[in-house]
Structure 1
Amino acid sequence: MNNDSSSRIVWALKQWISQAAPGARLPSTRSLVAEYQASPVTVQKALQVLTGQDLIESRPGVGTFVRAVRAVRPADYGWQTAALGSPQTVLPPSSGTMRNVPNDAITFHSGYPDRELLPERLVRTALTRAARGDAALFRPPAAGLPELQTWFAHELGSAAPAGITAPMPSDVIVLPGSQSGLSSIFRALVGAGQPLLIESPSYWGAILAAAQTGVRLVPVRSGPDGPDPVELDRAFTESGARVFYAQPNYSNPSGAQWAPGHGEEILAVVRRHGAFMVEDDWAHDFGITSQAVPVAARDDAGHVVYLRSLTKSVSTAIRIAAVVARGPARERILAHRAAESMYVSGLLQAAALDVVTQPGWQSHLRSLRQQLQSRRDLLVTSMREHAPGAHLELLPKGGLNLWFRLPDGTDLGRLARDCEDAGVFIAAGTEWFPAEPAGPFIRLNYAGPNPGAYPAGARVIGEALARNGR
């Protein structure tokens, strides 16, 4: 028996149902097991999916039947148009990176690492221990568990050079993921209608958070070594901005890491303008051939607001991050956090702390580095062989993604559709630009599932790209 995914059975039965009359009886489970060479459990899962979609109904002791289409009065929500009025801000559409796709698809679009790259054993053990402790029953402090605050402060402080005062645990605010932290930071430090400098291209989630808070984005071009300090200085002067959002280490989408010494140059510009830099260190744990060196480690005057996430490196189910900020800026951010969520689940905080303080955590990170390098190199080689028209502008030293420039005139929408029709999902690069895109790009995640399928996926992209140019 083939206990493969039930998705193929769901797809086939949907085709059958579309041709069947309402009330038609489906073949028995035994017949379906024989027809699709699947286990009874797999067939039952497929039938449960179809039942949940109201396509079939089961009658105990009788059989399973195509559900009759009932004529219903369409709901009228027109009154809400007047009640809500025009939106104050027009939000970008939901990111394509968050789409759910068939289990048998080749997925390059997601922004998350594959389950095989997570410390699963550590996570399961930590959740079990946390559930048995006080964290499962009591409310934690608004700024976070003191032990977790201490860990985040030590992580940043350990990178501080001599003469720089390391952050205190009290400078740390624990967050339910970095995305909500971005919204709080932009509200607290920028404000609706005010300018925010941002690298271009940049993380689509930061662009979305800015749109939600009504912040006005001012793009600053950023290349393989980071933004030009002269251009950043000019942008501060011309816009009057007081905040700059950046990803110095393994930027999403390009994977760029600022050149040595570049952080000090950028920090000098920020200081000269009496401004803040929001440093998003989301990929801190994903170094391959280099280490992440936070710019915040060189600042003790409160100019850098540092954001570090554990969601991608520990588990997507444990949404824990932290912001390190000093002075009045910290108090403003904490006030916004308290108004939005009051506190972060103590259970998740305790589990995250357990994972990152286990001896196995460092062993996991060493193994992760090797696995990421293997997957990155495999996808690079596959794209060079099968999709030579896609130009890799930078071989990243860490992170999860590759950023490809495509030939001018490439229709990204058509390219994505053609790839999806062949079972390959990619992310068009348009949503990583805070203004008009600088050209046609795609972002491919090399940390996704089934790396053995990377050559086949690259072949599909290459063929679709060749057709696109005709």
Structure 2
Amino acid sequence: ERVKTPTDGLHYMREWFAREIGGGVTAADLLVTAGGQSAITTALRALAPPGTPVLVESPTYPGMLAVARAAGLRPVPVPADAEGVRPDLLEAAFRATGARVLVCQPLFQNPTGAVLGPERRREVLRIARAAGAFVVEDDFARRLVHEDAPPLPAPLAAEDPDGVVVHVCSLTKATSPSLRVGALAARGPVLERLRAIQVVDSFFVPRPLQEAALELVGSPAWHRHQRAVAQELRSRRGLLAGALADQLPAFALPHIPYGGHHLWLRLPDGVPEAALVAGALRAGVAVAPGRPYFCAEPPAGHIRLSFAGVAGPTEIAEGVRRLRTAVDELTP
């Protein structure tokens, strides 16, 4: 490794990711990727032929839907609630579609913030195993845990001895958009399929970038950074939730997550989503419309509010005030 960068990634980088995942996952089960989005792209291209269905949570991350469609796949929504994807509907969807892949975010799901409950974790793995399917686990938010969170469940990959789970994780969100270093973990012959796709698509992650990531996570400052991120995310979440309760009590906030960097709001009846998003932008506040998070007809209007990109508490309060202004313009 002093001479060249292996296409799988530097050995010590793969070792670090394997330890983070746990459950007997080893460096030999890992590929270093150029961030999480690249890893999801590789996984879907390797696991599902073009034209076939892929099961997704509803709602889910629009970037993943874009990746699936670009690969020629047909996303099929499986409704989720406050405890994640519903196993009864998942089993029915596998049976009805013949799909061989489920993509899910068991921890702090985007956009709902849901955490897959213990019983459901077992059920999802059982259902996928019975269907002869893979579960692509997008563990994107583990390093965005809030300070007040209870102990986190292990990744699904750590509880899967049968090679059902293909695990995706990344350092990017907890560090910098430019530190595009992530990992794919898989057991059994599927790893060779993942490797073959990655070599064609991106060859390998540049060695200097991996060395910079290793320098960061191997430093005492890494743990201080994680604590600081957890404290700041908790503080901002509380400020945003409090401001919404005060200024926009009619907006439904059914779940306040203890990880991630956003809140997911259901709009009151009579508040049109597209008009609100446009009005908010005119008022000087950017919100994400809910429509792109659904690959079928949404059950209601939603918006997603991120608290990661603001300068501090003052901007959070001002953003909610401006959103209230946009709402007032739409309602009598």
TM-score in terms of structure 1 length:
0.68
Query: Aligned pair 1:200/2:65, yes or no?
Result: no
Contact 1:210 1:217 in 2 (8 A): yes
**Structure 2 partner of 1:142:** 7
Letter in 2 for 1:272: A
2:302, 2:221 → 1: CA distance? 38
**Structure 2 partner of 1:419:** 280
CA drift at 1:139: 4.0
SS in structure 2 at match of 1:403: strand
Gaps of 5+ in 1: 1-133, 161-165
2:164, 2:237 → 1: CA distance? 34
1:324, 1:306 → 2: CA distance? 5
CA drift at 1:263: 0.9
Query: Aligned pair 1:155/2:17, yes or no?
Result: no
1:235, 1:387 → 2: CA distance? 37
SS in structure 2 at match of 1:391: coil
Contact 2:310 2:316 in 1 (8 A): no
SS in structure 2 at match of 1:396: coil
Match among 83, 102, 106 for residue 244 of structure 1: 102
1:191, 1:467 → 2: CA distance? 48
**Structure 2 partner of 1:320:** 181
Deviations 1:360-407 (A, max 9, x none): 211221222111111000000111111222211201021111000001
Match among 126, 132, 145 for residue 274 of structure 1: 132
SS in structure 1 at match of 2:230: helix
Contact 1:376 1:447 in 2 (8 A): no
Match among 179, 200, 203 for residue 37 of structure 2: 179
**Structure 1 partner of 2:230:** 369
Query: Aligned pair 1:221/2:83, yes or no?
Result: no
Query: Aligned pair 1:344/2:209, yes or no?
Result: no
CA-based RMSD of the aligned residues comes to 1.4
2:173, 2:159 → 1: CA distance? 25
**Structure 2 partner of 1:265:** 123
Deviations 1:227-257 (A, max 9, x none): 2211111111110011100000001111111
1:447, 1:292 → 2: CA distance? 24
Deviations 1:199-245 (A, max 9, x none): 00011111010010010111000011012211111111110011100
Deviations 1:424-458 (A, max 9, x none): 11111111112222210000112222222211111
Contact 2:42 2:198 in 1 (8 A): yes
SS in structure 1 at match of 2:118: coil
Contact 1:226 1:256 in 2 (8 A): yes
Letter in 2 for 1:403: W
Measured at CA, do residues 292 and 350 of structure 1 come closer, stay the same or move farther in structure 2, by a change above 3 Å?
farther
Deviations 1:55-101 (A, max 9, x none): xxxxxxxxxxxxxxxxxxxxxxxxxxxxxxxxxxxxxxxxxxxxxxx
1:167, 1:440 → 2: CA distance? 41
1:322, 1:405 → 2: CA distance? 33
Deviations 1:298-336 (A, max 9, x none): 002110000001111121111111000111211111101
1:223, 1:412 → 2: CA distance? 21
Larger radius of gyration: 1
CA drift at 1:459: 1.4
**Structure 2 partner of 1:406:** 267
Match among 373, 390, 395 for residue 256 of structure 2: 395
1:377, 1:383 → 2: CA distance? 10
Deviations 1:1-21 (A, max 9, x none): xxxxxxxxxxxxxxxxxxxxx
SS in structure 2 at match of 1:244: strand
2:331, 2:124 → 1: CA distance? 40
2:139, 2:311 → 1: CA distance? 27
2:137, 2:254 → 1: CA distance? 23
